Amino acid sequence: MAIKNKINKNSRAAKRAGVSTRTELKELQNVTRAEKTDFSRKKKDSKLSNNINKKKEKIIAQLKLSQNSKLENLKIDNKALLINIEKSLNITNQLDNKILKSKQRARYVQAARKAGWEQTNALAKQEIEQVNNIYSQEDPTKYAKELKEKNDQMAIEQEPEEDHVETFFEQEERLKREKNKPTNMFEMLDVENTEEL
């Protein structure tokens, strides 16, 4: 069995444990309790009474003011309110202007994006109308003859002359012009007739 040593009252263990002896415990049991130990309640009561007194003093001071001073105070308050209202209106006007400007910018961008397609669609519709007008005429062979003549003339113009031989320098210039020539990507698209649908 392990032998328990008595704890010395001045030791660290005794200090941690608090009261070390039985006599001290008995003495503490005999001590009477204080009746009112809640001091926070008194502080709260005193704060409340101070606040009530201050409010009473304010009300009395307001009652003592003459009617003229009351009107002056009201005018000052109204001026302050008007100034605050004007400031808020200015801010809302600025925000409204910003909103309007952003909407206008959005409309401009959308219109600019649509403009390219609207132009190409308009050109396609015009070409379709021209073709329909030509075919609706009485003599459709006339148009076919005109197209054949135009194609023949273009073929003749595009054929190089046999007398003129292209030099190396002229050939390079021609190739550069062909490379720099902008290509229309919409020429490759097939156009459908929207009127028949």
Q: What's the CA gap between 168 and 173, in Å, rounded? A: 9
Tell whether 144 is covered by a domain: yes
pLDDT at 133: 77
Region 1-26: mean pLDDT is 67
Tokens of 163: 């007398």
Region 3-11: mean pLDDT is 70
* Phi and psi at residue 187, to the nearest 5°: -65, -25
Its domain, for residue 119, covers: 49-148
pLDDT at 20: 53
The Cα angle at residue 115 between residues 109 and 116, in degrees rounded to 5? 115
Amino acid occupying residue 42: K
Question: What is the pTM assigned to this prediction?
Answer: 0.22
Tokens of 22: 């039985």
At 120-146, the pLDDT tens digits run 788 788 888 888 877 666 565 666 677
Q: What's the CA gap between 28 and 13, in Å, rounded? A: 20
At 31-75, the pLDDT tens digits run 777 666 666 666 666 776 777 777 777 777 776 666 556 666 666
Amino acid occupying residue 182: P
pLDDT at 39: 63
What's the DSSP call for residue 36? -
With 70 as the cut, is the pLDDT of residue 2 above it? Answer: no
Q: What's the CA gap between 22 and 28, in Å, rounded? A: 10
Tokens of 186: 């919409």
With 60 as the cut, is the pLDDT of residue 159 above it? Answer: no
Tell whether 34 is covered by a domain: no
Tell whether 157 is covered by a domain: no
Number of structural domains in the chain: 1
Tell whether 31 is covered by a domain: no
Tell whether 98 is covered by a domain: yes
Q: How confident is the model at residue 194 (pLDDT cuts 50, 70, 90)?
A: low
Tell whether 117 is covered by a domain: yes
Q: What size, in residues, is the chain?
A: 197
Tell whether 110 is covered by a domain: yes
Region 11-26: mean pLDDT is 68
181-185, Cβ contacts within 8 angstroms, sequence gap of 24 or more: none
Region 139-158: mean pLDDT is 69
Tell whether 20 is covered by a domain: no
Is the Cβ–Cβ distance between 164 and 174 less than 8 Å? Answer: no
Is the Cβ–Cβ distance between 196 and 133 less than 8 Å? Answer: no
